[in-house]
Amino acid sequence: MTFSPDGQRLATSGEDGTARLWNLQGQELAKLEGHQGNVSQVSFSPDGQRLATSGIDGTTRLWNLQGQQVAQFEGRGVLNPDWSQAAIIQPSDRLLSDDTDGVVTLWRVDDLDGLLARACDRLHWYLTYSRTVTESDRAMCGIQGSRDTQL
């Protein structure tokens, strides 16, 4: 069990494959379902807007506070203090379940706004100059109108 950073909510892990979010009056706010078996760890993001769970099924999952899964990583993981990266430990031989010989993979962790910003950065040239892009697509990335020189 863990408290949210503002101390207004609790998150619990369960043997039934769920984690749950509670208010301080004991009312269940959300049920996070998806793990197969024990949920061994649950933690809040620093801003209190997301939860991370790890289970004996070998997955680490990220959730919003409404109980919707927003990301899944294969392996047991830990997030750095600002939640910008996750370190996921995966067995080097997936046929073996021994975690003593594993491979650590670092993953960047973004919320939807972060993912959209990175996508817009990568696609900026295409969104700006392609004739096939709609104005609404450009607007989603803050690009106003098309350039004179198009593809």
150 pLDDT higher than 50 = no
Q: Locate 66 and state its tokens.
A: 């409404």
- Ramachandran quadrant class, 55 (left: phi over 0; alpha: psi -120 to 50; beta: rest): beta
Q: Locate 42 and state its tokens.
A: 């649950």
**What percentage of the chain has pLDDT greater than the value 70?**
70
Structural class in CATH, domain 2-109 = mainly beta
Q: What is the pLDDT of residue 109?
A: 64
Contact at 8 Å (CB) between 26 and 10? no
Instruction: Convert the pLDDT of each residue in 108-128 to its tens digit.
Output: 666 556 667 777 888 888 888
Q: What is the pLDDT of residue 29?
A: 96
Residue 23 binned pLDDT confidence (cut-offs 50, 70, 90): very high
Q: Are strands 59-64 and 69-74 parallel, antiparallel or unpaired?
A: antiparallel
Q: What is the pLDDT of residue 45?
A: 86
Sign of the Cα torsion 46, 36, 12, 30 reads: positive
Q: What is the pLDDT of residue 112?
A: 59
Residues composing the chain: 151
Give CA separation, 41 vs 6, 15, 53, 110, 147, in Å. Answer: 19, 11, 5, 20, 50
Where are the CATH 2.130.10.10 domain residues in the chain?
2-109
149 pLDDT higher than 50 = no
Stated pTM of the model: 0.61
